Chain A
Amino acid sequence: MRNFARRIYIALIIIFLYAPIGTLMVLSFNASKSRAKWGGFTFKWYAELFQNDAILQALWNTLAIALLSSLIATLIGTVACIALQNMKKRNRAIVLGITNIPMLNAEIVTGISLMLLFIVLGIQFGFFTILLAHITFNIPYVILSVMPRMKQLNPSTYEAALDLGASPLQAFFKVTFPDLLPGILSGFLMAFTMSLDDFIITHFTKGPGIDTLSTKIYTEVKKGIKPEMYALSTLIFVTVLILLLLVNKTPKEKKN
């Protein structure tokens, strides 16, 4: 009985979280342009999606920014973690404190602060400014997922590698790096996801001529969102879902 209640509760929360997603999927097959009524089933929007250059361009921008920013953030963040590990405790605490600012601060404040910076520096708003902004808010996610693994690292393994004749660089890449890899990967994925889903910071750091999917949707809100957008997001979501299911299906490494 108690177990039953628990299951119901989890199910309700999952319905709550996924109801909008289901709604969007249904809308992507809705022949009517209006969100409010069902006009019959159609694949029309999927076909038109691939004719819609504005949306495809926004998709391209979104993916390019997400990939580039998360890659660069992963690189900087991982190197930063190694450096942090070798720092004095006090300095490390200060740097980690600064690292947390973009995570704890309001996105709107991060957005306008970067906007002001780019204005003062006279950098032209566009792809590059969005990229810089995304790297900035992505780095903390990388550090946050690499740092714990860094702390668990047994320093003796690195020293053992040196003892067995590896150079510091070899020791790092053959011993330390594989240990950090799960943290680095999850940091990268986290950063990629955050970048993909970001609207607020992009909103303040993009120029007039460029759009990501988020900003495109936001400008469309008032005039009505094009159903192609539903089709696109359904495609993205289903792709990710399938990928994740595949990853989960592959034989798992035994933990503990």
Chain B
Amino acid sequence: MNKKMLSLPYLFWCVAFIIIPLIMVFYYGLTDKTGAFTLENIAAIATPEHSKALWFSLLLSLISTVICLLLAYPLAMILSKMQVNQHSFIVLIFILPMWMNFLLRTIAWQTLLEKSGVINTLLDFLHLPALEIINTPYAIVLGMVYNFLPFMVLPIYNSLTKIDNNVINAARDLGADSFKTFTRIILPLSLPGVISGITMVFVPALTTFVISTLLGGSKILLIGNVIEQEFTVTNNWHLGSGLSIVLMIFIIVNMVLSLVFDKEGEGNAL
């Protein structure tokens, strides 16, 4: 058996279903309906409607990424310090929800967030002001954080558990207090996980159209919604592809950043 032959099925698959489709996107994005070369589809991002959607998507996804990071880092720290050698248990907590359809889970937030929903009943009971965020950008951010938090926790947790305990002891031994040990040793050493987590949250948040549809009401359009409509409603694949190319620029910038910081690929999440 020739071992070189073994790579053929996968190489074929890569070319046929990853590379050629991406070339298609570029082809459609850079041509008009007659097949002539044009930059119009890309320039279309500058129209007020599109640029507003892109700007808004960037804003919401950045906010969500930051919130995810702030929630996930302490959580990953706590989990990594837990004595139980239960890596699988921890992964389980975050993977298990995926077995309930994510659309349904997101919709369930509507029920929770409604004016007379569970959360507001609870807040009322505690004499706290009601939370009226359903169908607002806040609800979209909440949906993003909810859906993508695991993608932030797992890589950070992985990179934290990789830190040798004696390295932390060494820092203490050399006189560093808890705060300095954290800022000079733990944080820099977990950076690959943080970067990987940021990538894994930022990209899906930036490009989502589902969460905005489900939790943002019908008024808020993100760049994902615009592209989705070009493909499924307006059937203008050229414009949709052009906008996708613009979107990909952000994704590529993100990927390059993550490659620069995570050379060994050790932050890979799952």
Contact = CB atoms under 8 A, between A and B. Distances in A.
The answer on direct contact between A and B (beta carbons under 8 Å) is yes
Interface of A: 6, 9-10, 13-14, 16-21, 23-24, 27, 35-36, 76-77, 79-80, 82-84, 86-87, 95, 98-99, 101-102, 104-110, 112-117, 119-120, 132-133, 135-136, 139, 141, 144-145, 168-169, 190, 193-194, 196-197, 199-200, 203-204, 213-214, 217-218, 221, 225, 229-230, 233, 236-237, 240-241, 244, 248, 255
Nearest to A241: B96
Given A193-B99, A197-B98, A76 B227 contact: no
B238 to A, nearest CB: 10
A190 B269 CA distance: 12
B10 A144 contact: no
B125 to A, nearest CB: 16
Contacts of A237: 99-100
Contact of A13 (B21, B75, B227, B270): B75
Given A6-B78, A109-B207, A218-B210, 15 more contacts: A23-B112, A80-B6, A80-B7, A83-B3, A105-B248, A106-B206, A106-B247, A112-B25, A114-B21, A120-B24, A133-B17, A168-B1, A196-B99, A197-B99, A221-B103
A117 B210 contact: no
A108 B92 contact: no
B78 A10 contact: yes
Interface string B195-217: 00001000110111110011000
B93 interface: yes
A79 B101 CA distance: 31
Nearest to B88: A248
Contacts of A102: 18
A83 B8 CA distance: 9
Contact of B108 (A13, A24, A82): A24
A107 B270 contact: no
Interface in B1-40: 1, 3-4, 6-7, 9-11, 13-14, 17-22, 24-25, 28
A21 B101 CA distance: 9
A172 to B, nearest CB: 9
| Chain B interface, DSSP helix/strand/loop, else mixed | helix
B181 to A, nearest CB: 16
A23 B111 CA distance: 8
| Chain A interface, DSSP helix/strand/loop, else mixed | helix
B163 interface: no
Contacts of B244: 108-109, 112
Nearest to A136: B17
B109 interface: yes
Interface string B161-174: 00000000000000
Contact of A17 (B85, B94, B118, B209): B94
Contacts of A21: 97, 100, 105, 108
Nearest to B254: A104
5 contacts: A16-B149, A21-B108, A83-B7, A193-B95, A197-B98
